[in-house]
């Protein structure tokens, strides 16, 4: 649009809109900074328990140190496992669906089992507790120093 075609009133209106957006943005930032400052001060003065509520400086320190613990490696493994699991599950699901579609006999045989499996909560279908981060064999967590007890032998 040509600048000469815009009226003075329209320019004034647009200027006021930009000013309002700027003012809203500054106010939002001021509220955030004020909140973080009050939180930090209250945690430093021991008015709030920093163990439970933490404090902004400790959160920032932890955030900046995330890369030192092979975070990207762990993210890569998680993404890889997610993509492979999705592709394998999708492939098997499509293959089973095609087989059930082709065979009326197998479809009728599998129908009650598929209905029961569909009604179960998906977490009930896990194979073991190991995949939830727990293992019955405690030696997994303490490098073979004990079995079926904690690593402190208590």
Query: Is residue 151 a part of any domain in this protein?
Result: no
pLDDT of amino acid 70: 82
**Helices and strands (DSSP H and E) totals, the chain:** 5, 0
| Spatial separation of the C-alpha atoms in residues 96 and 99, rounded to whole Å | 5
- pLDDT number for residue 127: 64
Residues of the chain with pLDDT under 50: 135-136, 138-154
The dihedral built from the CA positions of residue 94, 95, 99 and 102, taken in this order, carries a sign that is positive
In a domain? residue 19:
yes
Evaluate whether residue 8 is within a structural domain. yes
The total number of structural domains in the chain stands at 1
pLDDT of residue 128: 60
Q: Is 35 contained in some domain?
A: yes
Residue 51 lies in a domain: yes
Q: Return the pLDDT at 65.
A: 85
Which pair of tokens denotes residue 125?
A: 């279908």
Helix (H) or strand (E) holding 38: helix 8-44
User: CB–CB of 56/39 below 8 Å?
Assistant: yes
In a domain, 26, yes or no: yes
Residue 152 lies in a domain: no
Q: Does residue 141 sit in helix, strand or coil?
A: coil
Supply the pLDDT for residue 129: 55
Structural domain for 23, as ranges: 1-64
Would residue 49 count as lying in a domain? Answer: yes
pLDDT at 2: 56
Residue 120 is predicted with a pLDDT of 84
With beta carbons less than 8 A apart as the criterion, state whether 100 and 110 touch. Answer: yes
């Amino acid at each position: 649009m040509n600048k000469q075609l815009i009226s003075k009133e329209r320019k004034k209106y647009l200027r006021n809109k930009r000013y309002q957006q700027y003012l809203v943005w500054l106010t939002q930032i001021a509220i955030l900074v004020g909140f973080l400052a009050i939180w930090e001060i209250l945690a430093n003065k021991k008015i709030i328990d920093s163990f439970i509520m933490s404090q902004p400086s400790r959160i920032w320190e932890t955030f900046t140190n995330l890369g030192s613990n092979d975070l990207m490696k762990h993210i890569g493994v998680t993404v890889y496992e997610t993509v492979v699991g999705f592709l394998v599950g999708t492939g098997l699901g499509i293959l089973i669906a095609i087989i059930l579609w082709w065979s009326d006999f197998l479809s009728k045989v599998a129908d009650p089992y598929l209905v029961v499996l569909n009604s179960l909560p998906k977490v009930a279908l896990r194979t073991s507790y190991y995949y939830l981060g727990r293992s019955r064999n405690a030696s997994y967590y303490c490098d073979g120093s004990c079995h079926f007890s904690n690593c402190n032998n208590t």
